[in-house]
Amino acid sequence: MRGDTFVSAVTDAHFDLAAGECLALVGESGCGKSVLASALLGLLPQNAETAGSALIGDVDLLTADERTLARTVRGRRVGLVPQSPAAHLTPVRTVRAQLEETLRELADVRRPRPQLRKAAEEAAERAAFPAGHLDRYPHELSGGLAQRAATALALIGDAPLLLADEPTTGLDRDLVDRTVDELRKHVGEDRALLLITHDLAAAERIADRVAVMYASRIVELADAEDFFGATGPRHPYARGLLNALPEREFTPIPGMPPELSALPGGCAFAARCTGADEACGTVPQAVAGVACHHPHRAAVLEAPHA
């Protein structure tokens, strides 16, 4: 709810994520990606409503109570690299103290003290957090350093699912690559990664599959090799995202996405797509991984004719 208005921030989001896999959830800001992440961890505002299920093992994340989420899910089954790390770091404790506390709680690293100190430094190194800043408080860190501190904390528990919500915010390209490479290392026989990002280069670098979100809905789900390769995306919005990259056509998608509080009755992308026709007056259902009435049509992304 926003005031007296009901906002459908995430609608009909269907996907699975297997151990050993990285799924990248991509899309423009405001499409609902971070709301989905918050829903999975029970971090939505109290007036928010959820429906459906999100299973990790035998726990349904959408129906679990706060006690279950706090004691058995967050950090243990699901590790979170938050979009706003400064809000998740304890302001009155140094980064080192927070790493050591997390190691004691999740990794059972208790003693001797030198071992705990070394383990904290190793945890920081995994996220490219400089050892010389470990004794600083969160307010003394730049945005990029705060992001890396949050990443280090999220990696400690080696949770079965690592949920990274815009983990490269504030980082330069070299650190982006290093950060996502480290996140990818988390993926293993019993661990998976959900990467939420608007950085398509980061997604291309490490993802096995790509889910494209637009105006609260997942409009395409595809293998990364096909999505970024010769086959390319099948949804016109997803094609537009790739075409907007500097190393590709560098052509922006015309228009603006709709407000989630005022979504159109039909296809939410129709107003921005020259491939739209009368059929697009109804909401398209996902078929073979793409929610579009004309997934094979090569839509020319120009301003629609009046």
Using alpha carbons, select from 15, 14, 18, 26 the residue that is nearest to residue 235: 26
Q: How far apart are the first and last CA of the chain?
A: 34
Q: What is the pLDDT of residue 306?
A: 39
Strand order in the sheet with 22-26: 78-81, 161-165, 192-197, 22-26, 209-214, 217-223
The partner residues of 290 in beta bridges, in order of sequence, read 220, 287
Per-residue pLDDT at 292: 96
Question: What is the reported pLDDT for 109?
Answer: 59
- Check: CB of residue 32 under 8 Å from CB of residue 38: no
Q: Please name which of 84, 74, 87 lies closest in space to residue 156, comparing C-alpha atoms.
A: 74
| Sign for the pseudo-dihedral over CA of 225, 230, 234, 236 | positive
- Residues 214, 27 contacting (CB under 8 angstroms): yes
pLDDT at 108: 66
Distance CA 97, CA 91 (A): 11
The CATH classification number of 22-232 equals 3.40.50.300
pLDDT of residue 69: 95
Cα–Cα distance for residue pair 198/298, rounded to 1 Å: 23
**pTM (two decimals):** 0.89
The total of other beta-carbon atoms located within 10 Å of residue 78's CB is 23
Compute the distance between CA of residue 142 and CA of residue 86 in angstroms, rounded to an integer: 10
CA–CA gap between residue 158 and residue 38 (Å, rounded): 20
Checking if the pLDDT of 175 tops 90, the result is no
Could you report the per-residue pLDDT of 84-138, keeping only the tens digit for each? Answer: 887 789 999 999 999 999 998 887 656 677 888 999 999 999 888 999 999 999 9
pLDDT score at 300: 43
Task: Answer for the pair 196, 171: CB distance below 8 angstroms, yes or no.
Answer: no
- Residue 301: the pLDDT is 44
Q: Looking at residue 2, what is its pLDDT?
A: 58
**DSSP, res 186:** T
Average pLDDT value for residue range 250-254: 90
Closest listed residue to residue 251, CA positions, set 262, 236, 263: 236
Read off the amino acid at residue 104. R
